[in-house]
A and B are shown apart, each in its own frame.
Chain A
């Protein structure tokens, strides 16, 4: 592989924010060996950062150190390089050392977002959930629009079985990115886990409504794909559990009204799932395991 094509490939990874560490590392070391980075111009710093991260990922710390040294020679005191150095510390030192390093950086500049987030992630890794949660809430209170942060908070809460808090955090992501059905799906699934079936059913329906396209005429003939299938599964699960246990229809922590026509919804979900796994639905590679799915949807 030539240096030129390797560089192009790496630039593509950077643009897509892809974490293909092994590939990046192989290509990056090739470029380093052939001294291709000497004639890159300003792009070389981006490349070095990318290679350092990848090298840490695959455990080749000596390469990471080399990149880091060049970066810190060029940009002393840069917050971005500092953050990278912190990640390097996390890779080899005990988390307490990294935590101390981040705390010192934060003291110098309390608004350094990247360092603050690293600190929270170290706290979480050390198992200090309470500390991590309070720190993360404080962070989000300041930088409200960080969707990743809210997702992380929801994840931490879900790990601690605090599904209601998790839902609250997710509702912020819904506010911030109302166009993204993945967040709505996560909300629905969290609500399902929390036992709030009416809310969960509504949210699953919302995902379906968002993803199944607008053409009303051929909708009943079209095949659900991808995330829509998962949402139909959710609908099916909700309606089935509701029909088995009528008490679940009215138990909703969020005060959501019970769904109307639950029986028809159940029927529709069954039909859609059948379509998704029928021979016509071969497009999405999900036609395997058809028999299992058919018997599952048919069981009461």
Chain B
């Protein structure tokens, strides 16, 4: 079972499509926001003089308004449905397929092993736990053995399989590193469709909307702008004791 996990890790690794290259315009669109964020982050104690700051802020604001940074160029009025449907967009479809593929690699060997164990060891008791347990664990430890009077210490084959399946994660982490894809607990937390759903939602970002929001932020930070250099002459003179220190 450990070997299966290791094998699965590498198969998933191979199946993962190489990261897609963005076009130049795509990169530009993605990074435009960072640009105004840098401007905003420094605006309350900015190093650059007011005239330059104002020009920059104005330029970015106008560019966001006109959609200069959008990948497909400025929008032309009637094309309102810019948020394309993910199912028709081949790029988004690719992402979804990749999710399905890895999930398949997860599920198939698990089902095969489980079927195999079920076939050969059905109804067998495999181990005996060295400690007593209460009756409530019966359904967990003695799956598919219909013996109501048997002690809970005895564990059936199928239950032992499940216990192993979830217990091996620590092992995989040792062998394959923290972010390995042999981790089976993730299979249970999300079905293939759930994972496809989340990637689908996060993938196509509507940059037009983001830019619009960023414009408001820019305006706000413009109001907070102060230049460090404004009172610097007084500050340096005070620092060197040439002027009396500030009274307040």
Residues of A within 8 A of B (CB): 109-111, 141-145, 167-168, 171, 174-176, 178, 184, 199, 201-203, 205-206, 208-209, 212, 216, 219-220, 253-257, 259-261, 264-265, 267-268, 272
Contacts and interface: CB of A to CB of B under 8 A. Distances in A.
Contacts of B23: 110-111
Given A206-B229, A254-B49, A255-B51, 14 more contacts: A111-B23, A142-B24, A171-B48, A174-B47, A175-B47, A175-B48, A178-B42, A206-B47, A219-B240, A254-B52, A255-B50, A259-B233, A261-B242, A265-B236
B28 to A, nearest CB: 4
Nearest to A253: B51
B24 A111 contact: yes
Interface string B198-233: 000000000000000000000000000000111011
Interface stretch (B30-38, B148-156, B161-169): B30-38
Given A208-B236, A261-B234, A264-B242, A144 B49 contact: no
Chain B: interface size category: 35 or more
Nearest to B236: A205
B35 A144 contact: yes
A265 B237 contact: yes
A268 B242 contact: yes
B236 A143 contact: no
Contacts of B241: 219-220
Given A111-B21, A261-B234, A265-B233, A199 B49 contact: yes
A264 B34 contact: no
18 contacts: A110-B24, A142-B24, A142-B27, A143-B31, A144-B31, A144-B32, A145-B31, A175-B38, A175-B47, A199-B49, A206-B47, A209-B232, A212-B239, A216-B239, A220-B240, A256-B229, A261-B243, A267-B242
Nearest to B39: A175
A205 B21 contact: no
Contact of B229 (A143, A205, A219, A261): A205
